[in-house]
Structure 1
Amino acid sequence: MQKVNLNGVKVVDVHAHPFVAAKGEEDAISFLKKLSLSVNPNMFSKEESTEKHRPVPNSNMWIQILLRNMAQYYSCEESLEEIVKARNKKAADYGEYTKELFQDVQLKGLIMDFGYPQPPLDRSEFEELSGARVWEISRIEPIMVELGKQGLNFDEFVSRYKKQLEEDLSKEGIVGLKTIIAYRSGLEVLEMDEDAAVQAYAEFTRNDRLPAKAFRDYCFHLAMEACTASGKFMHIHTGIGDGDVVMTKASPSFLLDTLRKEKYQDTKVHLVHGGYPWMEEAAFIVSILPNVYMDISLQNPFAGHGVERIISQVLELAPFNKVMYGSDAFTIPEMNWMGVKIFIDCFERVLNDWVEKDYMNAEKARYIGEMILYRNFEEIYQTKI
């Protein structure tokens, strides 16, 4: 029976963050910290054990899979010390190393959130570093924070905010806006209430990390309106992420009432991270709302071997043409590289299982693989890579 093989298929990552060329070498602990979603400074410590097969303390399957693949790629012993040593040698020319990793997995383009890290990095510099084409989303929260520091009254804030959104959406290479409202007040976005927003704006100007819910909801709606008018995408962080996410209100199900409002029926929405671990809810939403799409990022690659299960679960309900590949890579090129490798390995297992069960032939299964790796991006964002 013919097997599905996705190696060599070009890839577009629809959600990642930029990084700069590192200065100096990594040690084992600094390297591990850059691989982790944890912000705990004590998450990793120097390995004192001499037991050969003992896992790196506080590592998980994502880190295990990455280290094993790196050892194979460098042809070195599968130990953290040897891997970091070989990696430092390769990364002495950081630009060439980054391009090598991107080319190895055919990573040709990325939609990037330059809202992290702050201050924002330069898009053209990242394109030069990586050799890949980059599109950008403009995160609304840094705009809100900057305007909130300027002593504006509410009406002045709204006027300046709307103008900035329009200007950003008109720039070359920017494909939409993004919000991380899930980190601040949650995804249960209520109707616009100007009186309540004015009061919450005073709270926001005192401390821009506070929920200030009515104000954030108001700004969310203004951003949705700007995306509707421009025909560009609203990217919404859904599901888990940084430790300060409002977990009880991070499920994409909280967005459903807002997204199915008549005024947003033509608004293009991209559910970032596919709502993980509530990815079935995101899959249901994209199956019933024609202009809502999702990516499989963050859970890929950070769920490690679980990516196979996640892909299968997402595609239980989500139409094949509504799902895109992503990584949420954010610090070092190995994240981008391993994101593609884990995803392809897991996706091939899913696709070949479908072929073995005679749900489809290998040719159709490969085409579905190509859809999620790059074809859907080209169709949804109406651009070629």
Structure 2
Amino acid sequence: ARVADPVLLRHLLWAAARTALPLQLHTGFGDPDLRLDRCDPLLLTDFVRAVRPTGCRLVLLHGYPYHRGAAYLAAVFPHVYADVGLALTHTGARAGAVLAEVLELAPFGKVLFSTDAHGLPELYVVGARLFLEALDATSARWVRDGAWCAADAERVAALVAADNARRVYGRGDTVTGDGT
């Protein structure tokens, strides 16, 4: 069951934020019992601002159909990251367009991928395959259009596929400087 009491929910969020560990926040769609109109990550802007001094990194999960809002928050707040995993899995053929929209706004060092698979083991494979196809198509288009060179495409792929998550979750510092 979800925590519904607003006082308890606030207490838990702030207790988690004070640990300075990454805090994952589900935004956008994902569960049948949610109210999608209350899942827009932009509704978290005041909380995002208030949490910053704690050192807690906020990871906005899913995001769809509010993935642009999640990307915006990742762009303007140094402690916010956007995870696109479930958004890509559920948009299927449109996964490339969704990923491109996130990459247009969020710094490359702030975008993470996860399969967010649950249930059938095959969903991990499907999620990973959709991500790779979306990333390959987006990278190829941007290289062809002259926005990126091949080295840029490889660097961004490594960041989004694994390096950003390693850095955010403390699995090794593979990115330096400003997180890009």
Counterpart for residue 376 of structure 1: 164
1:239–1:250 CA contact under 8 A, matched in 2: yes
Greater helix proportion: 2
2:85–2:131 CA contact under 8 A, matched in 1: no
Counterpart for residue 175 of structure 2: none
SS at match of 1:276: coil
The answer as to 2:149 corresponding to 1:361 is yes
SS at match of 2:10: helix
The answer as to 2:34 corresponding to 1:245 is yes
The answer as to 2:14 corresponding to 1:225 is yes
Counterpart for residue 108 of structure 2: 320
Aligned-pair distance for 1:252? Answer: 0.8
Counterpart for residue 289 of structure 1: 77
1:252–1:282 CA contact under 8 A, matched in 2: yes
The answer as to 2:7 corresponding to 1:235 is no
The answer as to 2:56 corresponding to 1:267 is yes
Q: How does 1:68-147 map to 2 (within 5 A)?
A: none
Aligned-pair distance for 1:359? Answer: 1.5
Aligned-pair distance for 1:253? Answer: 1.1
Counterpart for residue 255 of structure 1: 44
Moved over 6 A (4+): none
RMSD: 1.7
Partner Cα separation in structure 1 for residue 28 and residue 84 of structure 2:
11
Aligned-pair distance for 1:297? Answer: 1.9
AA aligned opposite 2:34: V
The answer as to 2:101 corresponding to 1:307 is no
1:283–1:317 CA contact under 8 A, matched in 2: yes
Counterpart for residue 118 of structure 1: none
Deviations 1:48-102 (A, max 9, x none): xxxxxxxxxxxxxxxxxxxxxxxxxxxxxxxxxxxxxxxxxxxxxxxxxxxxxxx
AA aligned opposite 2:107: P
1:227–1:268 CA contact under 8 A, matched in 2: no
Partner Cα separation in structure 1 for residue 12 and residue 58 of structure 2:
11
1:271–1:295 CA contact under 8 A, matched in 2: yes
The answer as to 2:126 corresponding to 1:344 is no
| Percent identity of paired positions between Structure 1 and Structure 2 | 27
TM-score by length of 1: 0.42
2:57–2:168 CA contact under 8 A, matched in 1: no
Q: Please list every run of 5 or more consecutive structure 2 residues that lacks an aligned counterpart in the other structure.
A: 173-180
Gap change, CA 1:288 and 1:220, over 3 Å in 2: farther
Aligned-pair distance for 1:223? Answer: 2.5
Aligned-pair distance for 1:264? Answer: 3.8
Counterpart for residue 278 of structure 1: 66
Deviations 1:122-176 (A, max 9, x none): xxxxxxxxxxxxxxxxxxx67x6xxxxxxxxxxxxxxxxxxxxxxxxxxxxxxxx
1:236–1:272 CA contact under 8 A, matched in 2: yes
Partner Cα separation in structure 1 for residue 143 and residue 167 of structure 2:
25
Aligned-pair distance for 1:292? Answer: 0.9
Q: How does 1:24-103 map to 2 (within 5 A)?
A: none
1:224–1:267 CA contact under 8 A, matched in 2: no
SS at match of 2:18: helix
Flag the structure with more relative contact order, 1 or 2, with Cα contacts below 8 A and sequence separation at least 6. Answer: 1
Partner Cα separation in structure 2 for residue 230 and residue 252 of structure 1:
22
Q: How does 1:160-199 map to 2 (within 5 A)?
A: none
2:58–2:80 CA contact under 8 A, matched in 1: yes
SS at match of 1:359: coil
- Structure 1 or 2, whichever has the larger Rg, is 1
Aligned-pair distance for 1:301? Answer: 1.3
Partner Cα separation in structure 2 for residue 242 and residue 307 of structure 1:
19
Aligned-pair distance for 1:227? Answer: 2.6
Aligned-pair distance for 1:241? Answer: 1.5
SS at match of 1:259: helix
1:223–1:234 CA contact under 8 A, matched in 2: no
